[in-house]
Structure 1
Amino acid sequence: MAHPVQNINHSAFRSMFERKKLSGNNFNDWFRQLKLVLRAEKKMFAIEQPLPIAPDADSAAIVLAEWNALYDAYNEMACLMLGSMTPELHR
């Protein structure tokens, strides 16, 4: 039963973060909120280290699956960050 509570907490952090858009002048506050969301979702790695190079196509299925899951996590966080910026900063 602990997982639904954690998901609710993550959603609360995300919604708090998504409401306050990065406009340029508020970077420090925005980045602090981003780190809060990433910590809650255990995805700080998305801003602390680059995505590893993709394994060769003939790598073991488990290696490919692990890298794909990591890629999805990085992509999700990139979308979260872009979605929390004003349109002017996207360009």
Structure 2
Amino acid sequence: MSTRNPLSAILKQNKLTGPNYQDWLRNLKIVLNSERIAYVLEKKPPKEAAPNISETELAKLEKWWDHDLQAKSYILASMSNELQRRFEDAANAADIHFHLKELYGVQTRSERHANVKELMTTRLREGASVHEHGVRMIGLVEKLVGLDVVMPHELSIDILLLSLPVLVRRICG
């Protein structure tokens, strides 16, 4: 990984193993954004330059290919050895990103579903600490936000209040 970018250390410390895909992807995007090359994750570069391409267009293509190679290198260097072997022959960074999303994105959906279910069904048990219950509920909301669930602040407060018994709601509300 690049010694030029001190942020690349987060990829070295948090290698992709599979189950940690969302955390790894967030870290990867931080590094690629700092290098201003994150666009290569979503867009594939053209394979070949047209024979009559201008010098300016050729320079743009070469820059794109350089950025793609740099991003692909970050991606491969921040994977487990098993995943590196699987993706080392991938054509570009966008292909790797697409396949990883296909492999591990479904897991995110099931994780999101489990967290939503837990958030919506959790209730304060009789005799339990209101503070600990609140911390648990906030943790579930934060997990969902980390899984890219958009939840207005007011909704998270309403869900928390609904998890409390009526007497506590009257005191808190």
Same-fold call, TM cutoff 0.5 = yes
1:20-78 CA deviation, whole Å, 9 max, x = no partner?
21111211110010111111111121112221343213311221111011111011100
Residue correspondence of structure 1 range 41-60 to structure 2 within 5 A: 41-60=35-54
Q: Does 1:70 align with 2:84?
A: no
Q: Give the number of the structure with larger relative contact order, counting CA–CA contacts within 8 Å between residues 6 or more apart.
A: 1
Highest Rg: 1 or 2? 2
Q: What TM-score do you get using the length of structure 2 for normalisation? A: 0.44
Provide the C-alpha distance between the structure 2 equivalents of 1:46 and 1:18, rounded to a whole number of angstroms: 20
Provide the C-alpha distance between the structure 1 equivalents of 2:20 and 2:84, rounded to a whole number of angstroms: 15
**Which structure 1 residue ranges, 4+ long, deviate > 2 Å from structure 2?**
52-55
Distance 1:54 1:13, change over 3 A: same
Q: Does 1:20 align with 2:31?
A: no
Q: Does 1:82 align with 2:82?
A: no
Shift, 1:12, TM fit? 2.0
Secondary structure of 2:6's aligned partner: helix
RMSD: 1.8
Q: Contact between 2:14 and 2:78, CA under 8 Å: does it hold in 1?
A: yes
Q: What TM-score do you get using the length of structure 1 for normalisation? A: 0.78
Secondary structure of 1:64's aligned partner: helix
